[in-house]
Amino acid sequence: MSSNLPSTLFHCLVFISIILLYLYSSLLSPPSSKPPPPPPPSLATDKKVSSNSTPCNLFKGKWILQNPNSQRPLYDETCPFHRNAWNCFKNQRAHMGIINARQWVPEQCVMNRIDPERFLGLMRNKNIGFIGDSLNENYIVSFLCVLRTADDGARKWKTKRAWRGGYFPKYNVTVAYHRAVLLARYRWQPKQSEDGDQDGLKGIYRVDVDIPAVEWTNVTDFYDVLVFNTGHWWGYDKFPKEKPLVFYREGKPINPPLEMSDGFKVVLENMVSYIQKEVPSKTLKFWRLQSPRHFYGGEWNRNGSCLLDKPLEEDQLDLWFDPSNNGVNKEARQLNRVIQEALQGTDIEVLDLTHLSEFRADAHPAVWLGKKDAVAIWGQDCMHWCLPGVPDTWVDILSERIRNRLETR
């Protein structure tokens, strides 16, 4: 037996080597079928991992409750960029400590919080523009307050077309928001005789599907990074049937008239193709997906409430948000599908902020709006977010993606 051992061992080794060689060569040889598709642009690659390893998905993960003393927001109620209704410390919203002690932890990778000095250093002489509705405004207020911690000289910046913004003189960086809630141009037209005698019609909102809103026409050259969104205004609560959206193309009404959801699709297609044609290819372009609402027990104008003191559990999300359950907040995922389709094959990177935000039923201003009658008039705000709060995580993600894109190109 003993004299046989070395030879057995030898045979074993030869066998193992052959197996390894086979495995190795099959790894190197081109795959027999089509090459695997490149990862979709929404998948981030962690810088610390080499570029050909598994990409890291920043949008899939969990909220982990940390110690409120170690996980603190970067700014407080004194930030001059605040909007009163979202300034939850000032409005003495309950649970602000706990709301901000929850940290988003992606599944397969480390995501650091933004380092404002380092980020502004990277952005020196560059500008960032947000274009869209108030959820992008909510986003930029967080961004401005975070960045200001690295530049005391930060000041408000405004032009005719920019709704609000900030300038950071130490780094010569401008970050601004252009309000364009439908992205396309739209305007009120009082009822005209040719509109006929339609029940209760007061007039129409004419939407030119092929013309961007003036608020962002010809401003895109100024920015090195652009973040788009639209979605919340595409509803019958904003545009009821006495004041409907009517879609125009090349200056003429589209015939037959489009329903709102088809109009949304056509506007997206046109705005995306405008961006692809007109915005320089070196500009980093992002599209942030819908921010979910958390109305419980009714719509915003039907006493809907979000007085929840902790995030939803993962297994509650479909119940709240899957369109097949027909809940109050179903539209976010519906709109996302249309948006993702319109963005396919473009160089616009998707920021899928929806899923991580779906958990955070606990983090809206709710009844703490800073004005006595606000809730009686407007209902609770279960749509925008407290600041500091969840949008600070959106900022961490965006800054990480910008850094990654600038450093790897």
Ligand X SMILES: *[C@@H]1O[C@H](CO)[C@@H](O)[C@H](O)[C@H]1NC(C)=O
Residues that bind ligand X (CB under 6 A): 125, 127, 172, 214, 217-218, 302-303
At 285 the three-state DSSP class reads strand
Q: Which CB, 128 or 289, lies closer to ligand X?
A: 128
Which of 168, 174, 166, 271 lies closest to 222 in space, CA to CA? 174
With b meaning 16 or more CB within 10 Å and e meaning fewer, what string describes 368-395?
bbbeeebbeeebbbbbbbbbbbbbbbbb
CB of 50 to ligand X, least distance (A): 33
* DSSP letter (8 states) at residue 228: E
Which of 80, 84, 76 lies closest to 155 in space, CA to CA? 80
CA–CA dist 112, 120 (Å, integer): 16
Q: Which CB, 157 or 205, lies closer to ligand X?
A: 157
As a whole number of Å, the CA-based R_g of the chain is 25
Q: Which CB, 141 or 175, lies closer to ligand X?
A: 175
CB of 127 to ligand X, least distance (A): 5
Q: Which CB, 100 or 380, lies closer to ligand X?
A: 380
CB of 263 to ligand X, least distance (A): 22
CA atoms within 13 A on the CB side of 318: 2
Which of 197, 361, 334, 354 lies closest to 290 in space, CA to CA? 354
Segment holding 186, helix H or strand E: strand 184-190
CA–CA dist 276, 282 (Å, integer): 11
CA–CA dist 293, 332 (Å, integer): 8
DSSP 37-71: PPPPTTSB--TTS-TTSPPB-TTSEEEEE--TTTS
CB of 301 to ligand X, least distance (A): 7
CB of 308 to ligand X, least distance (A): 18
CB of 215 to ligand X, least distance (A): 9
Q: Which CB, 159 or 172, lies closer to ligand X?
A: 172
- ω into residue 280 within 30 of 0, thus cis? no
Q: Which CB, 167 or 385, lies closer to ligand X?
A: 167
Amino acid at 299: E
Q: Which CB, 48 or 160, lies closer to ligand X?
A: 160
- The answer to whether 157 and 165 are in contact (CB under 8 A) is yes
Amino acid at 356: L
Q: What is the largest CA-CA distance in the chain?
A: 107
At 214 the three-state DSSP class reads coil
CB of 160 to ligand X, least distance (A): 10
CB of 223 to ligand X, least distance (A): 9
Q: Which CB, 5 or 376, lies closer to ligand X?
A: 376
Which of 73, 51, 64, 166 lies closest to 120 in space, CA to CA? 166
CB of 175 to ligand X, least distance (A): 12
CB of 212 to ligand X, least distance (A): 9
Q: Which CB, 11 or 302, lies closer to ligand X?
A: 302
Q: Which CB, 218 or 316, lies closer to ligand X?
A: 218
